[in-house]
Homo-oligomer: A and B are copies of this chain.
Amino acid sequence: MTGKFSIIMYSGTADKFIPLGVLAQAAAAMEMKVEVFVTGFALLGFTKQKQDIPFPEEFKGMAPKVMEGMKKNKVPSWYEMLKQAKEMGAHVYACSMMAGVMGLTKNDLDPVVDDIVGAATFLQHAEGGQVIFI
């Protein structure tokens, strides 16, 4: 499959990292050009220093069941899936504006992040393709 699949990863609750990993991996495996633009609270999931990523307030009670189900079904972590996507050509960028607001530099971010770029650069890369906002 040709085409681009671009993901704006904004929401920072733990559950939302699962579709990030799944969709990035699936689209890259289908030979789509995948780009992830990490911004908002989702940046907290991409810092070298581990941070507590909260579960959504409304579904806190479901967290243990979901975690157990993922283990039992041997679902890889979102981070593993994103690394697989990268091995197949995906790129991960952090939003320059939001990194600045949170006082984060390239050095604070996990090596899975390729670079820090602005929203305009991301939109240019995404031109003509599919874009989703998580």
Q: Which residues of A contact B (CB under 8 A)?
A: 1, 3, 5, 8, 10, 12-13, 15-16, 18-19, 22-23, 26-27, 29-30, 32, 39-41, 54-59, 62, 65-66, 69-70, 73, 75, 97-98, 100-103, 118-120, 123-124, 126-134
**Copies of this chain in the oligomer:** 3
Give chain B residues whose Cβ lies under 8 Å from the Cβ of A118.
26
Give chain B residues whose Cβ lies under 8 Å from the Cβ of A69.
100-103
CB distance from A94 to the nearest CB of B (A): 14
CB distance from A75 to the nearest CB of B (A): 6
A133 touching B133 in the complex, CB below 8 Å, given contacts A5-B123, A69-B103: yes
Alpha-carbon gap, A26 to B119, bound state (A): 7
A40 touching B19 in the complex, CB below 8 Å, given contacts A30-B123, A57-B58, A69-B102: yes
Give chain B residues whose Cβ lies under 8 Å from the Cβ of A27.
123
